[in-house]
Amino acid sequence: MEPAPEIERLLRAADLRVTRQRVAVLAAVRTLPHADTDTLLRAVRAEVDGVSHQAVYDSLHTLTAAGLLRRIQPAGSVVRYETRTDDNHHHVVCRSCGSVADVDCAVGPAPCLTASDTHGFVVDEAEVIFWGTCPACSTADTTTREVAP
């Protein structure tokens, strides 16, 4: 897990009270980017004995509202969290195992996409999800096909 003093500084800079749960949740997301809530709950419980589901959910909500976490939910997937909040990057998701990776914007500044018509909205973010098969699943699929009669 990340050193607590750095995380405590981030919490204070966001005008949040420093609690063991918030420190543990933020450290877990930094260690496990794109992790789902259940995975984060297990990681936090390894650090803070007896922490409740609700405390972890509340911390995730508070940290997201404060801009320290970003909540993503690719279609058909569970909610995931990441600490990369300072840019408008996108994600690639494996259709087989569900792994998620960051994809940087290739052209221009955020939101790095230009809508054909904003209908008067002031657009500040664009979300793109690329779908495919990760290298591990691609290799496994190839191996399975080669072995099959």
Domain total of the chain: 2
Tell me if residue 102 falls in helix, strand or coil: strand
Same domain, yes or no, for 141 and 113?
A: yes
- The pLDDT, as a whole number, for residue 77 is 86
CATH code of the domain covering residue 92: 3.30.1490.190
Residue 79 maps to a domain: no
CATH code of the domain covering residue 54: 1.10.10.10
Q: Residue 14 is part of which domain span?
A: 4-72
Same domain, yes or no, for 45 and 9?
A: yes
pLDDT digits (tens, 9 = 90+) for 15-55: 999 999 999 999 999 999 999 999 999 999 999 999 999 99
Same domain, yes or no, for 128 and 95?
A: yes
List % helix, strand, coil for the chain (3-state, nearest 5): 40, 15, 45
d(CA 21, CA 74): 26
Determine the distance from the C-alpha atom of residue 61 to the mean position of all C-alpha atoms in its chain, rounded to a whole number.
Answer: 13
Residue 108 pLDDT > 70: no
Inter-residue contact 94 to 137 (CB < 8 Å): yes
